[in-house]
Homo-oligomer: A and B are copies of this chain.
Amino acid sequence: MRLSPMSSSLMRIPAARRGLITRSPIRSLILSRDFSFKKNADAKERVVILGSGWAGYSLARTLDPAQYERIVISPRPYFVFTPLLASTSVGTLEFRNILEPIRRIPGKIGFYQGWADDIDFNRKTIKVETNAAEEAASKTVVPPPGGQITVRAKGDLIDIRYDKLVIACGAYSQTFGIEGVREHAHFLRDIGDARRIRLRVLSLFEQCSYPNGSDHLTVDDKRKLLHFAVVGGGPTGIEWAAELNDLIYDDLGKMYPHLLPFVKISVYDVAPKVLPMFDQALATYAMEHFARQGIEVKTEHHLERIRLADGRLGQKHGGLGLKIKEYGDKEVGAGMVVWSTGLMANPLISKIASKSHTIFPYTNGSANPKTGEPSTTRHLVVDQRTGGLMTDGQLRAQTVTAENKKGVMDDVFVIGDCAVIEDDPLPKTAQVAAQQATFLAKQLNRKAFEEAGKKEEAAATFKFRNWGTLTYLGGWKAIHQSKADELKGWVAWIVWRGAYLTKAMSWRNKALVPIYWMISWIFGRGISRF
């Protein structure tokens, strides 16, 4: 049997796809949906959300698709459930257990994958640098020890129009300009970070398990490579150290028992106390628990530089040398450094904040359109301490004119880590971001209903409700603190595991996370390296 040549059959694909006809449920689904995002085709207001973290994802899920056309723009096509990121980095959970694809948000949702590069508040347009073509390459590249791979080619630029804009693009990790941090430290903010950490931890053990010999690693080299350094004593750093300790003693110890004597985990912090958000009793409990597990916590220690170790230890094995102020010139050896300190402003925020914007009254900005003024030239207001964008209590972006006249943009909202509410600075946490998103979505959902009835009412103001803080300490223990109560030990652990299950996750992952907890508990963590 010889079929017709491809060149002509290519022209007949749509008709020839018999699958479309025989698989009627899919076909009816296709026919019932409208896929153009053009204004004309859809009279709904278009809300464009920049970012797919806690703020952007929660908003996209909560905003009513019957009232708004929802478009998410983000360089990554998923939301990461960050409280369980450390668990995936040690193999307790599988990476996809904590990912929620944006395109699986129920209801019609638009998505453009890319980096928001600039915003034209006058033309109400966002310039997006697409990154789907480069993604497969850039996401998976792990620089070899001592090397760097530059893969991200410049993507195409596309313009996306908005009616309402929600800026929820988060913040970047703060490195304080310390030498070598960007090149050699591991961050723990995205799923790719967790994957790189997992590979690095597991491959360090494998590297150290070759037979000893003059050509190979010395005992002292192994001590250096199996030293895991965490910089930053906040909940992220502490939890990662705890999870790593569990992985090593529950699982890796069975496979590499001869390496256990070389293993060491250290947490460095510049402050005199770690876990600053916990009261003294809980922080002390945590430190005593760490001490029992052999994790060293070094407060008032200042990291000044990370560089590759000399010779083959660095070039071949990726061993690092840490210069710590308190130790003078003597470097501390380490196999990896996990960096979990503060946050700094996103480059997009810096870019739009550095420019003046011409805003016309028809945007319904707070400059009174009745004055007849054709336009105003304004700057966004930036919080000097954090570099975030200032908002009012309704989370609208604040502006200021050259004459120092304050105002807001009615159709531009800022939420999450890149937002700072005037007179109400809040911590940059998932809780704050998610609550802001839910507040804003509800406001917008209500507003659209009301606009139909032309009813006017006083705007609600965002109020943060602190649900308390939880930190896992390893060995099935955690501490929890809120205004109402204070828990520790087993009780905290149960609260911790239970609480996360009910939040933000799809049913798919709500089912898979406890299954993996059970599987890891029975059979051990996932330790296959690939």
Contacts and interface: CB of A to CB of B under 8 A. Distances in A.
Interface of A: 1-3, 5-7, 9-10, 13-14, 16-20, 22-23, 26, 29-30, 33, 35-37, 76-78, 94-96, 99-101, 103-104, 111-113, 130, 132-145, 147, 149, 151, 153, 156-158, 160, 191-192, 195-196, 199-200, 203, 206-207, 209-211, 213, 215-216, 223, 227, 245, 249-250, 253-255, 257-258, 260-264, 266, 272, 291-294, 296-300, 316-318, 324, 326-327, 330, 332-333, 506-508, 511-512, 515, 519, 522-524, 526-530
Contacts of A263: 13, 17
A96 B10 CA distance: 37
Given A6-B332, A77-B529, A216 B261 contact: no
Of all A-B residue pairs in the complex, the 7 with the closest CB atoms, nearest first, are: A132-B206, A137-B144, A508-B523, A35-B258, A19-B294, A99-B528, A14-B261
Contacts of A298: 2-3, 6
A305 to B, nearest CB: 15
Contacts of A149: 141, 149, 151
Contacts of A528: 77-78, 96, 99-101
Q: How many copies does the complex hold?
A: 2
A472 to B, nearest CB: 16
A525 to B, nearest CB: 10
Contact of A260 (B30, B144, B196, B296): B30
Contacts of A132: 203, 206-207, 209-210
Given A133-B318, A135-B206, A136-B142, 11 more contacts: A2-B326, A10-B332, A13-B261, A19-B293, A101-B528, A137-B142, A139-B530, A141-B142, A144-B153, A156-B215, A506-B523
Nearest to A22: B292
B253 A26 contact: yes
Given A76-B530, A77-B528, A294-B16, A30 B199 contact: no
Contact of A249 (B1, B14, B26, B136): B26
